[in-house]
Amino acid sequence: MKQMTEAQLSELEQDLNAIRNEVIADLGERDAQYIRRMVRLHRMLEAGGRVMMPFGFIPPVFVAATATLGIAKILENMEIGHNVMHGQYDWMNDPSLHSQTYEWDTVCTGDSWRRTHNYEHHTYTNIIGKDRDYGYAVLRLSDDEPWRPRHSLQFINYILLSVFFQWGVGLHELETEKLQRREISLREKLPFLKEFARKGGRQAFKDYVFFPLVTFPVAPIVLAGNVGANLIRNLWSSTVIFCGHFTQDAETFSEEECEGESKGHWYLRQLTGSSNFTGGRWLHILSGHLSYQVEHHVFPDLPAHRYPEISGKVQAVCQKHGIHYNTGSFARQYGTVLKRVLRHSLPEHLGGSSATTA
Which residue number, 116 or 278, has a Cβ lying nearer to another protein? 116
- Told to check if 194 binds another protein by CB under 8 A, we report no
Number of residues this chain uses to bind another protein (CB under 8 A): 44
- Told to check if 295 binds another protein by CB under 8 A, we report no
Which residue number, 55 or 210, has a Cβ lying nearer to another protein? 210
Rounded Cα gap, residues 18 and 45, in angstroms? 38
Q: In the window 249-268, what residues touch another protein (CB under 8 A)?
A: 263
Angle at 294 between CA 293 and CA 299, to 5 degrees: 95
Rounded Cα gap, residues 70 and 76, in angstroms? 10
| Contact characters 48-77, another protein, x per CB under 8 A | ------------------------------
Rounded Cα gap, residues 250 and 203, in angstroms? 34
Q: Which of these segments, 110-118, 145-153, 230-238, 321-329, binds another protein (CB under 8 A)? A: 110-118
Which of residues 51, 58, 123, 348 is near another protein by CB under 8 A? 123
Instruction: Single out the residue of 336, 304, 333 nearest to residue 35, CA to CA.
Output: 304
Residue partners of 82: CB distance under 8 A and separation at least 6: 104, 288, 290
Which of residues 14, 96, 176, 319 is near another protein by CB under 8 A? 96
Which residue number, 46 or 175, has a Cβ lying nearer to another protein? 46
Specify the 3-state DSSP secondary structure of 48.
helix
Residue partners of 84: CB distance under 8 A and separation at least 6: 35, 97, 98, 99, 102
Q: Letter for the amino acid at 84?
A: V
Which residue number, 290 or 355, has a Cβ lying nearer to another protein? 290
- Euclidean distance between the first and final Cα of the chain, in Å? 10
- Told to check if 313 binds another protein by CB under 8 A, we report no
- Told to check if 206 binds another protein by CB under 8 A, we report yes
Angle at 241 between CA 290 and CA 162, to 5 degrees: 145
Backbone dihedral angles phi then psi of residue 140, each to the nearest 5 degrees: -95, 115
Which residue number, 36 or 189, has a Cβ lying nearer to another protein? 36
Interaction site with another protein (CB under 8 A): 21, 24, 27-33, 36, 39-40, 43-44, 47, 85-87, 90-96, 98-100, 103-105, 114-115, 118-119, 122-123, 202, 205-206, 210, 263, 300-301
